[in-house]
Amino acid sequence: MDTKKDENLEEELQEENSELELLKAENADLKDKYARANADFENIKKRMQREKEQMIAFANEGFAKDLLDVIDTLEAALNVEVEDEISAKIKEGVKNTLDLLLKKLKNHGVDVIEAKEGDEFNPDLHEAMFYGENTDFNTNQITQILQKGYKLRDRILRHAKVSVAK
């Protein structure tokens, strides 16, 4: 009889070992699924944070674009020739207003796209309004700045409008 008991005990032990192995495999599978779900969650959290930061950074893009017309108007006012002292004082006030506006825009990430005559034309930053022969410049060099360009951080608000040598 002892052998029968031993056999039964042996069978029970094997069944329990099988069940233990199944539970270990299930546990390992659940740990793997948990690790993957946790990694997915962390990736989603990071992506949402990046998107939130971008939305905040570019929230005022439309407003900044609207202000470019104001800047253009103030710059045009500075190009007017003045002949009397009162007009000169008004022009000085316009210059101070423009400087303050540009400073405030810069504080919010709006910068002028630097372009000058002789620079290489870059279609990412410049918009060619005219192409023409010009012996003073090499091919594809900017010959004239027609309108300043602006960017908000790394996004173009308006390309600099330029004339380019052929």
Residue 59 pLDDT > 90: no
Going by the DSSP 8-state scheme, the letter that residue 77 receives in this structure is: H
pTM of the predicted protein model = 0.67
**Confidence (pLDDT) at 163:** 95
pLDDT class of 1 with cuts at 50, 70, 90: low
Domain 61-165 of CATH type 2.30.22.10? yes
Write the pLDDT tens digit of every residue in 113-127.
989 999 999 999 999
Residue 66: per-residue pLDDT: 92
* In the chain, domain spans: 1-57, 61-165
Whether 9 shows a pLDDT value over 90: the answer reads no
List the structure tokens of 152.
Answer: 């908000």
| Mean pLDDT score, 71-81 | 94
Q: Where are the beta strands (DSSP E) in the chain?
A: 110-113, 126-132, 142-147, 149-152, 155-158, 160-165
Residue 98 contacts residue 71 (beta carbons within 8 Å): yes
Mean pLDDT value across residues 145-164: 94
pLDDT for position 53:
84
